[in-house]
With several copies, the nearest count.
Chain A
Amino acid sequence: YPNIGRVATDKEVAAWDIDVRPDFKGLPKGSGSVTKGMEVWESKCASCHGTFGESNEVFTPIVGGTTKEDVKAGKVAALTDNKQPQRTTLMKVPTVSTLWDYINRAMPWTAPKSLTTEEVYAVTAYILNMAEVLPDDFVLSNENMAEVQKRMPNRNGMTTNHGMWALKGKADVQSVACMKDCKGETKIRSELPDSARNVHGDLSQQNRSFGPVRGVDTSKPPST
């Protein structure tokens, strides 16, 4: 394609190529301590995510629901027993690179990409410290990330054994299209709770005032 595009300079690639993979390809050299991370957290993160990463105010909690046993097993038990009311970030995330990469590119939310490399290392360390994955005196660095990965509470929590990635993958749920006198129960198992009827506003205002149907006036209870 003559005269279309041009070769990127090294500096241009460096400016944008910020992704960090699970094998730490892309991870810049550097380090940051838990102590420094606490400073970063309290000044730049806690207002949204809570002092302990527990806040549900702007997003689901980041920290919580993981145990020392999970760190050993690499599988978060609360994901099976469902005792934790919400699934926190640390309960789910299998890879420490994911945290590093995401904080580096997107946090703090209103000033993404404003953290220094040290700050990203530090605050990542601090989050893992809050979750008791890393000790108080830990200094996270490109050198020891692989070791830290081995302590991620849900590092063994993922499977790619399913058919929803490959274009010709096999579906896990196999239904059958019965056409006549189909067996099995056809009972109503769940209905809209009354409390949810008008939560989205009056539906009569969310449909046309003409046509085959009208919107239901959900500010009133159902007529039956």
Chain B
Amino acid sequence: GSALAQAAASAATDGDVNILTLPEHSTTLGKPVAANPYGVPSRFETNLLRRESPGLTRVNAASVSFTPLQGLFGIITPSGLHFERHHQGWHDIDPGRHRFMVNGLVKNPKVYTMDDLMRLPSVSRIHFIECGANTAMEWGNVAVPAVQYSHGMLSCSEFTGVPLSVLLDDCGYDRKAAKFILAEGADGSGMTRTIAIEHALDDVIVAWGMNGEMLRPENGYPLRLVVPGVQGVSWVKWLRRIEVGDKPYATKDEAIHYIDAMPNGSYRQYTSIQECKSVITTPSAGQRLLDKGFYNITGLAWSGRGKIKRVDVSVDGGKNWRAARLETPVLSKCLTRFNIDWVWDGSPVVMQSRAVDESGYVQPKINELRAVRGTKSIYHNNAIQSWKLDVSGEVSNVQVY
């Protein structure tokens, strides 16, 4: 804190030099409008970036980049920092040549251009997207040094598109026989995922918009599926096709991956819902408090089963809990930011958050998860996260139960 030190030093005398000597920007003319016709962050905002976790995957076109949750505010993820998960790399697809097809158990298999789709009745909704493998590295022991890597396969945006139900109706889907849909991407992996028809008709969106503009290429430009509450792999990017069928498809990413290893050696298949979870983002591991005194402990809570009902925070390793303030609006299958007042007296602290959703489900401890699912499960780790604050002010990642 050189700025802090400086401030303190000069405050002892006449005052802070940053006040007493007017800064240059107060005494000069600044830059014109539209200097950046498409604006970018400040030159002082170069540390919070999407980053990879070394060794997580062996090739970076079938890999992950993580959202820097440690320094974000509110619930909207800046689109430039939305996490990435590609299986065969990303492309910047020409929307004029992109086509979308619906086939299978429908009266009329149809082809739509982007022009067609964007003329249809659209909706915009704010939803979280979380990779099923978020926090996977921590099923066993503590493995990563910061919330970016432990929880950063998580983002939240306002998505705009046409409800899938509108398209299924438009093609005359078979209301009796239809039991599942298959969503298929136009990338090399031809990513495919099965979705139950009830879910498809409920709140799934064929989306082109993200945070007011077109999807970013890394997130599926010009078209992706939005499957609220369900793990990100089902939100098929570069969406080219929906097939209506009567049986699940057991695609690679629902028969070899995104299956949950149980202690008895079996795998749970078709586990898609992201259960209720929360994490304190500031302060969090890899951060240092400069000082004793007041802090706003803040974090995120979410549930694939609906709205967040309550978030409790403990600063004594789980012995006592206080309900945090939830920011409004609290939306279904959307991030909810929580805040709670706290004064650090300089002693060591273990802080945790625990979310409860509208179904009454309580975010579990890691040992409770393991008691049912063992330690090989990889996906769907929604355990309570513990951060240890040391007397030095340094926060680190620990498991507590």
Contact = CB atoms under 8 A, between A and B. Distances in A.
Interface of A: 1-9, 11-13, 15-19, 21-23, 25, 56-59, 75-77, 79-80, 82, 87, 89, 92-95, 97-98, 101-102, 105-106, 109-114, 154, 157-162, 164-167, 169, 171-182, 184-193, 196-201, 203, 205-216, 218, 222-224
Which 3 residue pairs spanning A and B have beta carbons closest together? A3-B293, A80-B265, A12-B15
B15 to A, nearest CB: 4
Contact of A76 (B59, B264, B265): B265
B362 A215 contact: no
A190 B294 contact: no
Interface centre among B116, B255, B267, B371 (most CB of A within 10 A): B255
B271 A164 contact: yes
A1 B170 contact: yes
B39 to A, nearest CB: 17
A67 to B, nearest CB: 13
Interface centre among B88, B96, B287 (most CB of A within 10 A): B287
Given A4-B170, A187-B400, A192 B145 contact: yes
Contacts of A4: 112, 116, 119-120, 170, 293-294
B114 interface: yes
Nearest to A199: B54
Interface residues of B, number: 149
A198 B369 CA distance: 29
B22 interface: yes
B164 to A, nearest CB: 14
A158 B292 CA distance: 51
Interface in B342-401: 343, 350, 354, 356, 359, 361-365, 368-369, 371-373, 376, 380, 386, 388, 390-392, 394-401
B394 A164 contact: no
Interface string B38-57: 00000011011101011100
Contacts of B49: 206
A18 B190 contact: yes
Nearest to B62: A59
B288 A215 contact: yes
Contacts of A12: 14-16, 19-20, 101, 111
A93 B258 CA distance: 12
B59 A158 contact: no
B364 A196 contact: no
Given A188-B388, A199-B54, A16 B189 contact: no
Contacts of A185: 401
B251 A212 contact: no
A11 B15 contact: yes
A221 B240 CA distance: 38
A167 B401 contact: no
B243 A19 contact: yes
Interface in B109-161: 109-116, 118-120, 141-146, 148-149
B28 A110 contact: yes
A2 B294 contact: yes
20 contacts: A3-B293, A4-B120, A4-B294, A13-B101, A16-B103, A57-B58, A75-B265, A101-B252, A158-B266, A164-B271, A165-B196, A186-B319, A190-B141, A196-B143, A196-B145, A208-B45, A209-B96, A210-B95, A211-B71, A216-B287
B110 A6 contact: yes
A192 B305 CA distance: 32
Given A21-B250, A57-B58, A199-B54, A9 B368 contact: no
Interface in B297-352: 305, 310, 312, 316-321, 343, 350
A19 B199 CA distance: 21
Given A3-B293, A75-B265, A211 B115 contact: yes
B27 A113 contact: yes
Contacts of A182: 318-321
B241 A17 contact: yes
B285 A192 contact: yes
Contacts of A59: 58-59, 62
A190 B54 contact: no
B241 A192 contact: no
B198 interface: yes
A31 B11 CA distance: 33
A212 B288 CA distance: 9
B15 A178 contact: no
Contacts of B143: 192-193, 196
Contacts of B286: 203, 206-207, 215-216, 218
